[in-house]
């Protein structure tokens, strides 16, 4: 059997952290085995599904680079196929029509509960030969085997046995004819030749039912791997209360996709104590059987650490491609004016944890800032700094070669002339050039801001000092 895995989200919201991790595991499983990865959109619940959610899921998958080989298949486009299989199952006696009304089902449940029995459908329509008088509306139920066990040999959970006596006759199609989740999944996994179903362990209880239906259809059963859930630091299921749970929100907040992927894979999977993996390494090493059985705990600090790691170690070109849109949002087109973005990346990557931070810090290289940070100005732009700043201006204006080494030498000359330590000169200069006392090394800062802007900002600072500079 060739290796085929799938990701089968219900489009009822954005792609969240848990879904993305399931998708990643299924994707890695397929890639590791040289198999096929399928994307299937489970949109039969029309009330809760939306086109926006489908788009949000596709956007998240694309951003993460989880490319699919087949699909996206939409279940809403497969109703004819589900009808055909229902017809086949009815004809073969694997399914039957159940005419019980809601009232009847409620009364059945209440009586069972009064007897302290587990509420379940009691199979009263199993043996009907003809519809009751008046042919009332009916659902279609699966004729679940009544004896024996169903064993799920789960690749993560190990052997889990379910007794058929615990499983009642599942509804396959509602009174309006629409198929139910457990049925569509089975038909799709069968038709799509899925060899391994990797999904959240909230579906484990559905698995014996799905296996029984597959047997009734004479289909092979795939392997199953149920992935444990993700918890927040407080031990509760990960949710918005714990911060961002949408994949695209991490994109918005300035994370690199490879940082999130690397983080997600470590949520439950490990290879020794290695923390950082390239995608190629993951494809080579990933083994679904090594996914931990216990729930994983989401740790935003670790994700931030990984993001900084990737900002520092990826090629500047790669980071620049991701940084560009963040500057765009701030109204800057780095291609028009200012240093090549790769130089800004090299200057800032040791001091930025996210692309948002990096873009903020890169702004002075690309456009004028509005005003000096009051605290920085009060500390560094004092009457005493007017003279050294003027000396810097005079030195720099004469420079014919605007390079890091000549800039550094020029500043050292000025510091010597003015009897200042280098830092005593560099800090006011930073405020004059960037508006704040935080910037990369001063020679790099001058280099990236460029001659014209540096001289203009020095003039601006000198003018400002005439009116504001205090002793």
Residues tagged active-site: 240
Count Cα atoms within 13 angstroms, Cβ side, for 167.
Answer: 26
Instruction: Give one DSSP letter per residue of 248-283, joined into a string.
Output: HHHHHTT--HHHHHHHHHHTT--STT-----HHHHH
Q: Report CA-CA distances (Å) from 269 to 195, 272, 289, 291, 314.
A: 21, 10, 9, 5, 23
- Scanning 7-15, 83-91, 227-235, 316-324 for contacts with ligand GLU by CB under 6 A, the matching segment is 7-15
Query: Nearer to ligand GLU by C-beta: 72 or 316?
Result: 72
**208 is a contact residue toward ligand GLU (CB under 6 A):** no
Q: Give the DSSP H or E segment for 394.
A: helix 383-398
**Complex with ligand GLU: residue 169 or 188, whichever CB lies closer:** 188
Least distance between ligand GLU and beta carbon 26 (Å):
9
By CB under 6 A, residue 43 contacts ligand GLU:
no
Residue 42 engages ligand GLU in binding (rule: CB under 6 A): yes
Of residues 8 and 264, the one with the C-beta less far from ligand GLU: 8
Interface pick for ligand GLU out of 39, 56, 95, 185 (rule CB under 6 A): 185
With contacts defined by CB under 6 A, name the span among 6-14, 27-35, 110-118, 366-374 that binds ligand GLU.
Answer: 6-14
Tokens found for residue 67: 């490319």
CB of 405 to ligand GLU, least distance (A): 58
Smallest CA-to-CA distance from 251 within 289, 307, 305, 201 is with 307
C-beta of 141: minimal distance to ligand GLU in Å? Answer: 20
Alpha-carbon distance 151 to 137, whole Å?
35
- Applying CB under 6 A, the site for ligand GLU has a residue count of 7
Q: Is the dihedral of CA 353, 358, 364, 368 positive or negative?
A: negative
- Tell me the two tokens of residue 357: 């931070």
Residue 60 binds ligand GLU, judged by CB under 6 A: no
Is there a contact between 372 and 438 (Cβ–Cβ < 8 Å)? no
CB of 18 to ligand GLU, least distance (A): 9
Alpha-carbon separation of residue 253 from 98, 246, 307, 322, 331 (angstroms): 52, 11, 11, 12, 17
- Judged by CB under 6 A, the residue of 8, 86, 170, 442 near ligand GLU is 8
Which position among 199, 209, 266, 361 is part of the footprint of ligand GLU (CB under 6 A)?
Answer: 199
Residues binding ligand GLU (CB under 6 A) = 8-10, 42, 185, 199, 203
């Amino acid at each position: 059997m060739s290796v085929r895995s799938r990701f089968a989200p219900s489009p009822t919201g954005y792609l969240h952290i848990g879904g993305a991790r399931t998708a990643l595991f299924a994707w890695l499983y397929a890639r590791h085995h040289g198999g096929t990865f399928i994307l299937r959109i489970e949109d039969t619940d029309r009330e809760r599904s939306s086109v926006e959610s489908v788009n949000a899921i596709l956007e998240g998958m694309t951003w993460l680079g989880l490319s699919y080989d087949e699909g996206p298949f939409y279940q809403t486009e497969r109703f004819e196929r589900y009808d055909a299989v229902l017809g086949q199952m009815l004809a073969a006696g694997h399914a039957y029509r159940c005419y019980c009304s809601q009232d009847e089902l409620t009364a059945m449940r209440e009586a069972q509960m009064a007897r302290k029995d587990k509420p379940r459908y009691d199979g009263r329509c199993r043996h009907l030969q003809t519809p009751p008088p008046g042919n009332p509306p009916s659902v279609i139920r699966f004729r679940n085997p009544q004896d024996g066990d169903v064993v799920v040999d789960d690749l993560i959970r190990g052997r889990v046995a379910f007794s058929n006596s615990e499983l009642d006759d599942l509804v396959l199609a509602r009174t309006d004819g629409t198929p139910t989740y457990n049925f569509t999944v089975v038909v799709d996994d069968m038709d799509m030749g899925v060899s391994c179903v990797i999904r959240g362990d909230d579906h484990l209880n559905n698995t014996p039912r799905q296996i029984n239906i597959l047997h009734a259809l004479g289909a092979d059963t795939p392997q199953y791997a149920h992935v444990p859930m993700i918890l927040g630091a407080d031990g509760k299921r990960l949710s918005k209360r714990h911060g961002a749970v949408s994949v695209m929100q991490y994109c918005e907040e300035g994370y690199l996709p490879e940082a999130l992927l690397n983080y997600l894979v470590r949520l439950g999977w490990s290879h020794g104590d290695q923390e950082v993996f390239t995608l190629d390494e993951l494809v080579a090493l990933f083994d679904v059987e090594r996914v931990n059985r216990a729930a994983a705990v989401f740790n935003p600090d670790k994700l931030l650490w990984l993001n900084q790691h990737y900002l520092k170690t990826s090629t500047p070109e790669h980071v620049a491609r991701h940084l560009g849109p963040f500057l765009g949002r701030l109204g800057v087109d780095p291609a028009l004016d200012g240093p090549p973005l790769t130089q800004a990346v090299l200057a800032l990557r040791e001091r930025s944890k996210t692309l948002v931070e990096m873009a903020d810090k890169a702004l002075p290289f690309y456009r004028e800032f509005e005003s000096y940070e009051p605290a920085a100005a009060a500390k560094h732009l004092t009457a005493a700094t007017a003279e050294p700043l003027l000396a810097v201006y005079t030195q720099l204006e004469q420079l014919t070669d605007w390079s890091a080494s000549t800039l550094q030498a020029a500043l050292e000359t000025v510091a010597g002339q003015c009897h200042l330590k280098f830092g005593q000169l560099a800090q006011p200069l930073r405020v004059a050039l960037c508006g704040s006392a935080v910037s990369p090394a001063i020679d790099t800062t001058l280099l990236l801001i460029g001659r014209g802007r540096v001289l203009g900002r020095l003039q601006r600072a000198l003018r400002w000092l005439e009116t504001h500079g205090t002793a």
